[in-house]
Amino acid sequence: MQRKGRSGLLAALLAGSLSLAALVQAHAQRALVAHISPPDTQQFPVVHVFASISDEAGRRISGLPADSFQVLEDEAVIVSPQVREAVLGTRQVFAINTTAGMELRDASGRTRFQLVREALLGWWQTPGAGLLGVDDLTLLTGAGLVAEHVDSAAELAARLDQPQPVPENLLTDLDLVLRALDFLSDPSPRPGMPGYLIFLTPLLEPGRDLSLVNAIARANETGTTIFPVLVGPAEAATLPQAANLQQLAQGTGGTLLVFDPAEGLLGLADQVLDQRTQYQISYTSGVNLSGTHSVRVRLTADGAEATTEGRDYDITIQPPEAVFLDPPARIERRSDDPTLTLEELPPTSLALRLLVTFPDGHSRPLAGSELIIDGQIVLQRLEAPFDVLEWDLREVQASGTHQIRAVVSDSLGLEGVTSDLAIRVNVIEPPRGLAALRNAFGPLLIALGILALGMVVGVGLSGRWRSRSQGEIAPPGIPGRRTPLRRAGLQPRPTAEQAEAFLLPIDPAGGPVEPYPLSGAEVILGRDAALSTLALEDPSLSGMHARLIRLADGGYQIRDLGSIAGTRVNFTPVPAEGARLEHGDRIDVGRSSLRFQLSNPPAPRQVYIRPFPSPAPTHSLPDARPLRRPRRSRIDPQEPSRDPNG
């Protein structure tokens, strides 16, 4: 019997322990309250949500490790989200329902509104509330808006004077709540800032069920927690008229409080200001389809679990777009080295660069790329850089045109394809046999030719210097006058009898100059005497600057040879197809100027002036007679024409 008694006692104790444990566990599960903000997708595919974790009394729970959080996006578990505590601040809207019930006075004669005002001033004057720029604050009463989106509690205190409550206010009860929620719908100064509506009111009028439902729905859409503060005696919270306030608090995650003038609002202030710090949860989304998606967070801490409400977000997602950057239209593989095979001909590769953009505005990393040549994948990249694709040209050993295409894929698995690109590859076989020897000795022959030309020029200059020093007569034209024109040493100078036209240097000082007769099919103007028919001592000219071409009809055309300084006729740049020269045209090459003159210039044009016919003339006019007017010349008026023969 004694053993039985002891066994029964132990069983009772064990049962009691289990019941107590179950009770503690149930209490722990009920004590965890979690809410999240609407997802922030500005950095998509990285998504941020902010979680508020508190106990049943509304006190924030801090210091939770990252493994306490599990993110579910469209019910799919996100692997390894990043969690940290961040100071965000809060959005606080204070709404004072200034109905007739706020006019009631206490034993000392102060109205309920005055008591509420003193309690709010006490809140705003605490050290925690005095931080500038942390919170977003708004104050309104039934009479109207007092302050909107200010960042200083001191400014709220300064603006809250003592308006006398009027029974017939424009906004009262739940209408005032809906108006206050409008300010919490405005964009937040910082993503993730939690919103709180402190609604200070006497008992509401019954029969506003629809407005109550709308207020709860609006608060949940904006992530707002509503704290109704009942201004009245403590027993008023048990009256049926307080049921709508209780529903307003429970439907938004808040608590119904009864205002105590002795305690003020400091307890609520601590609870709200403590929520300035939130858990920032960041993760990389796996969503790759446009539309509406949902996020919720499951929390486990100290054996308790809580799951937040689902938060939706809308997103538009499009595949990336890729284009080739400055691709060549033609590639030539060739070399003068006879020992190279076709595979070894340079270039052996070509780097094709891509420009990748995201038309949906959500930049994201690339995960791979492919290069497709003539429908075959020749390169796959699984590591960066993904926007540079190397085409191996060693396999291209025959001339032909190839179709090039690239495919890029992003971190969401979406692919972008370039347009087809046609590139012509010419493969020129290296020289063999005697052709190879000619190429091998080519540089040597050129060097010997340059040396011989230098010797000829040197001998010519030496003889010219000796002849001048011995008093020889200068060439016909202008005795003793230097000219900027130099002929190539190996080309004979045409005589005046052979020349059909002349180039006459223009001297800015107006001094005498020596003309240069033109003959033959073409004349090259330039700075290099070895390459030009007519060399000018002007450093602004190119080695081969311009070409004068004799046309079939006896005229001349001038073309620029790609010079840097350019060629102009009568101050007009010469077009790519060239310009026909007329007698008297001015030619500017670099900083040098020449006058083009024909040996037999055309006769000037005759201009006739005839009277305008009139049906009834009143005066007789003399017979029309020709007037000689010289052909409009493009010669500078300050430069008189000169006889090219001196």
Q: Three-class SS string for 83-127?
A: EEEEECCCEEEEEECCCHHHHCECCCCCEHHHHHHHHHHHHHCCC
Dump pLDDT digits (tens) for 214-266.
999 999 888 899 999 999 998 988 888 899 999 999 999 889 999 999 999 99
- Residue 14 pLDDT > 50: no
* Percent of the chain whose predicted confidence (pLDDT) is above 70: 79
Q: Which helix (H) or strand (E) holds 513?
A: none
pLDDT of residue 304: 87
CA dist., res. 504 & res. 521, Å (int): 19
Going by C-alpha positions, the residue among 528, 585, 576, 588 that lies closest to residue 556 is 585
Give the Cβ contact number of residue 256 at 10 Å.
19
CA dist., res. 199 & res. 143, Å (int): 15
What is the identity of the amino acid at 472?
E
Q: Helix, strand, or coil here: 486?
A: strand
Dump pLDDT digits (tens) for 143-179.
889 999 999 999 999 888 655 445 455 678 899 999 9
pLDDT of residue 616: 54
- Residue 322 pLDDT > 60: yes
pLDDT of residue 250: 92
Q: Residue 435 has which token pair?
A: 């052709």
Dump pLDDT digits (tens) for 407-428.
999 999 999 999 999 999 999 9
Point out which residues pair with 586 in neighbouring strands.
595
Q: Which helix (H) or strand (E) holds 531?
A: none
* Rounded average pLDDT over 577-589: 93
Contact 400, 423 (CB under 8 A): no
Contact 563, 541 (CB under 8 A): yes
Q: Which domains does the chain have, with CATH numbers?
A: 33-86+282-315 (2.60.40), 91-275 (3.40.50.410), 321-428 (2.60.40.10), 501-598 (2.60.200.20)
Dump pLDDT digits (tens) for 22-31.
433 433 344 6
pLDDT of residue 605: 66
Q: Determine if residue 18 is left, alpha or beta; phi over 0 gives left, psi from -120 to 50 gives alpha, anything else beta.
A: alpha
Question: Do the strands 76-77 and 195-201 form a parallel or antiparallel pair, or are they unpaired?
Answer: unpaired
* Rounded average pLDDT over 381-396: 94
- Residue 339 pLDDT > 70: yes
Dump pLDDT digits (tens) for 495-534.
555 678 999 998 888 778 888 898 888 899 999 988 888 8
H helix intervals, 169-242: 173-184, 209-222
- Residue 488 pLDDT > 50: no
How does residue 480 score in pLDDT terms, banded at 50, 70 and 90? very low
pLDDT of residue 519: 80
pLDDT of residue 603: 75
- Residue 487 pLDDT > 50: no
* Residue 373: φ, ψ to 5°: -115, 120
- Residue 318 pLDDT > 50: yes
- Residue 592 pLDDT > 60: yes
The pTM for the full model equals 0.56
CA dist., res. 139 & res. 145, Å (int): 7
pLDDT of residue 436: 56
pLDDT of residue 384: 92
Sheet with 592-598: strands ordered across: 516-518, 501-505, 592-598, 586-589, 567-569, 572-573
Q: Which helix (H) or strand (E) holds 43?
A: none
Which DSSP symbol is given to 242? G
Give the Cβ contact number of residue 194 at 10 Å.
23
Contact 353, 326 (CB under 8 A): yes
pLDDT of residue 200: 95
With a CB cutoff of 8 Å and minimum separation 6, the contacts of 477 are 512, 514, 515, 646
* Rounded average pLDDT over 98-113: 89
Which DSSP symbol is given to 264? B
Taking each helix axis as running N to C, give the angle between helix 243-252 and helix 209-222, from 0 to 180 degrees, rounded to the nearest 10: 20
Q: Which helix (H) or strand (E) holds 228?
A: strand 224-230
Dump pLDDT digits (tens) for 63-104.
999 999 999 999 999 999 999 999 999 999 999 998 888 889
Give the Cβ contact number of residue 444 at 10 Å.
9
pLDDT of residue 424: 96
pLDDT of residue 617: 53
Q: Helix, strand, or coil here: 48?
A: strand
CA dist., res. 149 & res. 184, Å (int): 10
- Residue 435 pLDDT > 60: no
Dump pLDDT digits (tens) for 530-547.
888 888 888 899 999 999
3-state helix, strand, coil in the chain (%, to 5): 25, 30, 45
